[in-house]
Chains A and B, each alone.
Chain A
Amino acid sequence: MITQILFEIPAAYETAVKAGSLIQVGGLLKDGATGKIVAHLQESGVAHSLLSTALAGSSGPLGLATEVLNAGSGMYTAVQVTQMKSMIASLQSLQYATLGVSLVGLGVTVAGFVYMHKRFNALDDRIDELMKSVQSGFASQREAALRAHMSQVKGLVKSVKQAPSLSRPELEYNRVAEAMSEQAAHFEGELEFFIKMDGKMNVEMFWQLAQLLMLSNSVRIDCRIRSNELRNAREISESVGEDYRRLFDTLSVASFHAHEGDGALVTKTLREITDAALTKPYLIEHLRTQRINGSEYIGRLESERTNPLLMLKVA
């Protein structure tokens, strides 16, 4: 490692972003004059803990957004309310439009496996409900295949959660990354099929499928970072960004069968997620070129106890 891992709080950059001297592009800030990357936005273990609490109280994916935005609804401690408010204020001041929904909570930056496990469980329940209650557009054979893949993904997340107790966890991380790549390919195919179906899409079903894809990809990349396979992590990340661009850039509010407000929220969130995915390779490349150990880096994020969001300063 040639440089220290330098984390700062987002507030340190707010004035410059507001003044326009720093420009937010996806998950990073760049200097408006020189074009150089200045810092990368990262969620810490605190963010995952807060969002796990929100997840427990929400009924669906768009419900999670409401829970995030309604910090203080009784399920948080006083400290958590302050942390949640600070997280939302930071995202707003860094000019993220969809607040806590887009970057944070989908593991677009860094996945927290405990949180991911809860997230997959919630998705599993909701997709099951949706398939029973609405015309999902999937034939029963397809539904069965989707359930089978979801179950495999849950197993993988469960085992990767236990990897730190192994003598050589990097082997498990690499195994899960490989297996998760197949699962992500399946979800991507299903999502593509759903997008290309005739007529407007059921917004909630689309959102659940999109989350399955995003969470699988996040775990894939995260595992490669933890095993310090940074070049590979970067290449996966580049390909994921391009996939999101191809899948989501063509969508608009008019693609969904939903109230314009819900459709607009989903569309905006997709834009921010795609931008974050397109800029994530730059973060990984920074770690690689500065010889920062991936496992150590994630360890630092997970051990943070105060700030839900951190900025990795690019020296």
Chain B
Amino acid sequence: MSVWQRLVALFRLDFRSAFGSLPSLPPPESSAVEEDEQTALPFELEVQKLDYIRYRRKILDWRDEFTVQMLTQGKDFFRQFSEHVEKEADEVGILRKVFAKPAAEVLEDDFFTLVRAPLVDRAKAAEAELTKVIQCLPPTQLPALSLAVDEVDPLLSVLGDLRFRPSNQDELLAKLNNLVFGERGIVDCYLQRAHAVSQALLQTLDAKS
């Protein structure tokens, strides 16, 4: 109804028409509303990101497995070495007890054979496992995957001038235990290296996703 028509209605005292609400817009056709509600909304997440989540998990599982193995097998290797040291100490003659050799000199080779070398082997095996893991990753420029680390204290200088005699056995084993499992020790170096490798891989994947 126009303004003029409303004024006319007012003169005729037809208040309902004069002040009645303005016609509203026609309601949308019910079928159009229903159709709209029947339509799926656009999916706003990237489904490809699921691949990244999966690959990320494979790399983390590899690192977790390596960490557990280095810690548990490292303990086994060190236990065997400790038993060997005890046996050697028992066999030290009276003369050698008095004029004992430096412990580092006596133990260097056995420590290498019973602890260092098996840990190196374990790291090499982990490298091979990682190569298998990355075969399932999307082709990309991969970072260096080597777990090789500099040999920590090759001459066992941690033992200082400690002599190899039964009375020093506990002290020297404690020092060597720290060399294997302590902060910046042999195992720690491998774990840090594995962490760096896995982080580099994850960053590469993250950038690609």
Contacts and interface: CB of A to CB of B under 8 A. Distances in A.
Interface in B71-115: 71-72
Given A25-B54, A26-B53, A249-B60, A289 B47 contact: no
Interface residues of A, number: 32
A18 B25 CA distance: 58
A249 B202 contact: yes
Nearest to B51: A35
Interface stretch (B10-18, B32-40, B116-124, B146-154): B32-40
A185 interface: no
Q: Is the interface of A mostly helix, strand, loop or mixed?
A: helix
A25 B61 CA distance: 14
B63 to A, nearest CB: 6
B142 interface: no
Interface string A279-292: 10110011011110
Given A252-B63, A281-B45, A289 B53 contact: no
A35 B64 contact: no
A41 B195 CA distance: 31
B40 A268 contact: no
Interface of A: 2, 23, 25-26, 28, 30, 35-37, 234, 245, 249-250, 252-254, 260, 264, 267-268, 271, 275, 278-279, 281-282, 285-286, 288-291
B175 interface: no
Interface residues of B, number: 30
Interface in B113-172: none
B177 interface: no
A36 B47 contact: yes
B54 to A, nearest CB: 5
A35 B47 contact: yes
Q: Is the interface of B mostly helix, strand, loop or mixed?
A: helix
A289 B191 contact: no
B1 interface: no
A242 B68 CA distance: 26
B30 interface: no
A297 to B, nearest CB: 16
Contacts of A288: 41
Task: List the 7 shortest-distance A-B pairs measured between CB atoms, nearest first.
Answer: A289-B41, A252-B67, A253-B67, A25-B50, A25-B54, A285-B45, A278-B53
B196 to A, nearest CB: 12
Contact of A2 (B37, B57, B71, B199): B37
A273 B61 CA distance: 14
B40 A290 contact: yes
B53 A279 contact: yes
Contacts of A234: 45
Contacts of B71: 253-254, 260
